[in-house]
């Protein structure tokens, strides 16, 4: 059985370490200010138990507001003299710890309080000294604990500082003990049972304590004490009173209201000379038996299971919020990317790479010529005047080509100039659209941020022409030259124009026609002087060029590949530089909620949720 317990503890420890690595940052993001009490409590408990051999100790903490009598009760139970009674407040600024002789060795004791600094108590007045380290525990050996009962030899008694003292650090020191204790003795002055802070702390104690014990102190008599207790219990069931504060459920299935109602409750009449014998139970065993009569391993496991359940509840809630945030961020970013792709397609459809096409044709035509022809360099009129038997009407066509090249190069523009001009307009349109969308309101797209994003896009170097497009252009030019040898042999004579520096970057601005053929209107019949009219106006010379040179199908394929590849490159460019600039909040969410991170949290939650209160200890 012991091996089973330790194996389960090892699994829980691993799950808790995963959550301690992942949840704090996630909690700060999704629930700022909410402390993961269950996680910290479980961490302390599993470390404490895993570090000892044999039976684990039980930590019993006296917890409550200032002036309730915690230190007096500590003194009576342990025999250790600590400041108490009517001494000037605030009282303790650090915790007093009483241990039985079996736990006197500091090396054995230290792992039981993994977040604390243990020091010998010495003079009890040291508890009052200001400026003490946050986690300091003043420990003293208390032989009288062993005499309390069979469990006294493993009972570690802590007097926690007042959670409502004037020193704000006391509340944090008290909370550390709350997260560690298995048995929590909530000490409360009877006439302050409805004070808001005391009710809040009682609810926390009911949620986190493995075993809760309540001591009502400074009562006039038992009648006052039990009337106050009964009134408190009635209010726990009242939705208009304390009910909502005590509605949370624990690992054992009980809600906090049930935990409080079923807790052993004691009353202690006010006395100038208080004694343990003056503490009276409402029913059942005495307070000493409740502390020293527990089965340590069973109670310790219940403490681990309860804290694990609390940790799993927090983790599952944060996990659900992270998944929801990730899904929303993913949808938002996907819509931005879709918009970027549409914009990239519009930019690519605005231009036709006239210069690159002519260069490819001339280059392939030159490579197909015999060596003796490559050295000919004469005016086109002379050339076609002397070799008409070879070319027939090609002389007239080459003249038209040269006319077209000169005219189109004169009114064509550098590709980068066209793309930057159109990108500028597309960026403005995208940003205006995104700013108007309610689902993107969290992006904070104020004017200055939009202006910065736009500038970043326009300043970034444009992507180069894709290899796929260049390969398609070469293949299509080579095919045309092979299919039209007579026409092709005349093209090299215009190489002085076409192969000039910068000519290959020239494009025809087709306006918003969607490309040379995307939404162009073909007028007349190609091959007989038809015209292609696009967004940039009529391109009559292209009609003659296409018809007489058998190029229509080639240009359709070239244009389709250009629009596909250039749209892909420009879309990625817009996504990287414009979407990337405005989607930073969405990317931050996706970075925090990475699938592998959420999967690790989910697996850790599954492990913790199997740690039932009975667990390997049985029911």
Asked if 351 contacts 615 with a C-beta cutoff of 8 angstroms, the reply is no
The encoded tokens of residue 68 equal 């309730």
Which among 170, 268, 288 has a CA at the least distance from the CA of 222?
268
pLDDT at 509 over 60: no
For residue 302, count CB atoms less than 10 angstroms from its CB and return exposed for 0-12, middle for 13-18, buried for 19 or more. buried
- What is the per-residue pLDDT for 354? 73
- What is the per-residue pLDDT for 392? 44
Per-residue pLDDT, averaged over 311-321, amounts to 95
Per-residue pLDDT, averaged over 353-359, amounts to 79
Which among 383, 384, 407 has a CA at the least distance from the CA of 542?
407
- What is the per-residue pLDDT for 454? 93
pLDDT at 311 over 70: yes
Asked if 143 contacts 155 with a C-beta cutoff of 8 angstroms, the reply is no
For residue 214, count CB atoms less than 10 angstroms from its CB and return exposed for 0-12, middle for 13-18, buried for 19 or more. buried
**pLDDT digits over 71-97, tens only?**
999 999 999 888 765 444 445 567 889
pLDDT at 187 over 80: yes
Give the contacts of 584 (CB within 8 A, at least 6 positions apart).
none
pLDDT at 519 over 60: no
**pLDDT digits over 419-444, tens only?**
898 999 999 999 999 999 999 998 98
Alpha helices (H) in 158-279, listed in sequence order: 168-180, 196-208, 222-236, 256-262
Residue 208 CB coordination number (10 Å): 24
Cα–Cα dist 338/343, whole Å: 9
**pLDDT digits over 559-590, tens only?**
889 889 999 999 999 999 999 999 999 999 99
The encoded tokens of residue 289 equal 């038996």
Q: Quick one: how far is CA 397 from the chain centroid?
A: 66
H or E element at residue 157: strand 155-159
Split at pLDDT 50, 70, 90, the class of 406 is low
The encoded tokens of residue 561 equal 């590949």
Q: Is 33 left (phi over 0), alpha (psi -120 to 50) or beta?
A: left
Sign of CA dihedral 453, 458, 460, 462: positive
What is the CB-side half-sphere exposure of residue 545 using CA atoms within 13 A? 22
Question: Beta strand pairing status for 211-219 and 506-509?
Answer: unpaired
Cα–Cα dist 205/153, whole Å: 25
Full DSSP string of 32-49: TT---HHHHHHHHHHHHH
- What is the per-residue pLDDT for 538? 31
- What is the per-residue pLDDT for 512? 38
Query: Higher model confidence: residue 502 or residue 47?
Result: 47
Give the contacts of 80 (CB within 8 A, at least 6 positions apart).
74, 96, 98, 121, 124, 140, 142
Cα–Cα dist 220/189, whole Å: 11
Q: Which residues pair with 462 in a beta bridge?
A: none
Per-residue pLDDT, averaged over 19-36, amounts to 94
The encoded tokens of residue 442 equal 């969290």
**pLDDT digits over 130-177, tens only?**
667 777 888 999 999 988 888 888 899 999 988 987 777 778 888 889
Asked if 108 contacts 127 with a C-beta cutoff of 8 angstroms, the reply is no
Question: Beta strand pairing status for 537-539 and 531-534?
Answer: antiparallel
Q: What is the mean pLDDT of the chain?
A: 82
Split at pLDDT 50, 70, 90, the class of 541 is very low
Cα–Cα dist 379/370, whole Å: 19
pLDDT at 496 over 80: no
Q: Length of the chain in residues, anyone?
A: 619
Residue 82 CB coordination number (10 Å): 23
Largest CA distance in the chain: 135
pLDDT at 58 over 70: yes
Per-residue pLDDT, averaged over 179-189, amounts to 94
- What is the per-residue pLDDT for 90? 44
- What is the per-residue pLDDT for 493? 64
Give the contacts of 304 (CB within 8 A, at least 6 positions apart).
9, 12, 42, 45, 46, 49, 611, 615
- What is the per-residue pLDDT for 379? 41
pLDDT at 523 over 50: no
- Provide the percentage of residues in the chain whose pLDDT is more than 90: 48
Distances from the Cα of 548 to the Cα of 261, 361, 526, angstroms: 99, 15, 8
What is the CB-side half-sphere exposure of residue 601 using CA atoms within 13 A? 30
Per-residue pLDDT, averaged over 469-486, amounts to 89
pLDDT at 116 over 90: no
The encoded tokens of residue 5 equal 């317990």
pLDDT at 189 over 90: yes
- What is the per-residue pLDDT for 84? 66
Match 């490559």 to its residue by tokens: 374
Residue 91 CB coordination number (10 Å): 22
Torsion of CA 388, 391, 392, 395, to 10 degrees: -80
Segment 370-374 long-range contacts (CB within 8 Å, at least 24 positions apart): 373/489, 374/492
- Mean pLDDT: which of 100-114, 288-302, 427-441 is highest? 427-441
Domains, the chain: 58-294 (3.40.50.300), 324-594 (no CATH)
Query: Higher model confidence: residue 369 or residue 321?
Result: 321
- What is the per-residue pLDDT for 513? 40
- Provide the percentage of residues in the chain whose pLDDT is more than 70: 79
Q: Which residues pair with 219 in a beta bridge?
A: 269
Residue 90: asked if its preceding bond is cis (omega within 30°), the reply is yes
- What is the per-residue pLDDT for 553? 81
- What is the per-residue pLDDT for 378? 41
The encoded tokens of residue 365 equal 């035509």
Distances from the Cα of 597 to the Cα of 164, 319, 341, angstroms: 39, 10, 30
Per-residue pLDDT, averaged over 200-209, amounts to 93
- What is the per-residue pLDDT for 535? 31
Angle between helices 296-348 and 552-574 (to 10 degrees): 140
pLDDT at 127 over 90: no
Which among 226, 378, 381 has a CA at the least distance from the CA of 214?
226
- What is the per-residue pLDDT for 164? 87
- Burial profile 467-498: b = 16 or more Cβ within 10 angstroms, e = fewer: eebeebbebbbbebbeebeebbbbbbbbbeeb
Question: Beta strand pairing status for 351-352 and 413-414?
Answer: unpaired
The encoded tokens of residue 28 equal 């700060």
pLDDT at 389 over 50: no
pLDDT at 413 over 60: yes
> What is the Cα gyration radius of the chain?
42
pLDDT at 546 over 60: no
- What is the per-residue pLDDT for 604? 97
pTM of the model: 0.73
Asked if 149 contacts 294 with a C-beta cutoff of 8 angstroms, the reply is no
- What is the per-residue pLDDT for 296? 84
């Amino acid at each position: 059985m012991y091996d089973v317990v330790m194996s389960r503890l090892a699994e829980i420890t691993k799950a808790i370490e995963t959550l301690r690595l992942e949840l704090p940052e996630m909690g700060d993001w999704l629930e700022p200010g909410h402390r993961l009490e269950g996680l910290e409590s479980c961490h302390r408990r599993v470390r404490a138990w895993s570090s000892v051999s044999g039976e684990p100790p039980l930590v019993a903490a006296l917890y409550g507001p200032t002036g309730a009598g915690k230190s007096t009760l500590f003194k009576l139970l342990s025999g250790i003299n600590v400041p108490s009674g009517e001494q000037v407040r605030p009282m303790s600024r650090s915790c007093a710890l009483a241990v039985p002789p079996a736990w006197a060795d500091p090396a054995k004791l230290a792992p039981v309080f993994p977040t604390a600094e243990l020091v010998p108590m010495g003079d009890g007045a040291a508890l009052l000294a200001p400026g003490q380290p946050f986690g300091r525990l003043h420990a003293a050996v208390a032989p009288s604990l062993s005499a309390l009962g069979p469990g006294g030899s493993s009972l570690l008694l802590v007097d926690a500082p007042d959670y409502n003292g004037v020193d704000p650090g006391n509340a944090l020191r008290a909370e550390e003990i709350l997260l560690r204790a298995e048995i929590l003795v909530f000490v409360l002055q009877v006439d302050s049972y409805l004070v808001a802070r005391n009710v809040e702390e009682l609810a926390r104690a009911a949620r986190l304590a493995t075993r809760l014990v309540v001591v009502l102190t400074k009562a006039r008599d038992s009648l006052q004490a039990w009337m106050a207790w009964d009134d408190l219990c009635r209010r726990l069931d009242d939705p208009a009173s304390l009910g909502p504060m005590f509605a949370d459920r624990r690992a054992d299935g009980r809600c906090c209201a049930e935990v409080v109602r079923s807790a052993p409750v004691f009353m202690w009449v006010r006395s100038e000379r208080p004694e343990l014998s003056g503490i009276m139970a409402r029913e059942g065993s005495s307070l000493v038996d409740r502390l020293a009569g527990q089965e340590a391993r069973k109670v310790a496991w219940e403490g681990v299971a309860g804290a694990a359940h609390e940790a799993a509840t927090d983790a599952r809630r944060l996990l659900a919020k992270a998944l929801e945030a990730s899904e929303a961020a993913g949808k938002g970013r996907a819509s931005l990317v879709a918009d970027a792709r549409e914009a990239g397609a519009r930019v690519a459809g605005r231009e036709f790479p006239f210069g690159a096409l002519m260069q490819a044709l001339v280059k392939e035509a030159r490579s197909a010529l015999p060596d003796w022809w490559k050295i000919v360099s004469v005016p086109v009129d002379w050339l076609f005047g002397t070799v008409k038997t070879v070319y027939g009407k090609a002389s007239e066509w080459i003249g038209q080509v040269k006319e077209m090249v000169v005219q189109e190069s004169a009114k064509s523009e550098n590709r980068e100039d066209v793309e930057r001009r159109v990108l500028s307009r597309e960026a403005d349109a995208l940003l205006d659209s995104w700013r108007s969308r309610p689902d993107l309101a969290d992006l904070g797209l104020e004017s200055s941020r939009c202006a910065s994003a736009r500038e970043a896009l326009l300043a970034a170097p444009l992507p180069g022409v894709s290899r796929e497009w260049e390969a398609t252009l070469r293949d299509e030019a080579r095919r045309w030259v092979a299919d039209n040898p007579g026409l092709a042999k005349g093209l090299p004579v215009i190489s002085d124009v076409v192969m000039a520096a910068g000519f290959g970057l020239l494009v025809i601005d087709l306006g918003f026609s969607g490309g040379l053929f995307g939404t162009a209107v073909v007028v007349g019949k190609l091959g007989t002087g038809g015209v292609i009219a696009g967004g940039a106006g009529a391109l009559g010379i292209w009609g003659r060029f296409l018809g007489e040179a058998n190029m229509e199908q080639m240009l359709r394929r070239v244009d389709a590949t250009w629009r596909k590849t250039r749209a892909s490159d420009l879309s990625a460019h817009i996504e990287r530089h414009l979407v990337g600039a405005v989607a930073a909040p969405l990317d931050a969410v996706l970075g925090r909620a990475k699938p592998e991170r959420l999967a690790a949290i989910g697996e850790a939650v599954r492990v913790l949720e199997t740690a039932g209160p009975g667990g390997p200890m049985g029911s």
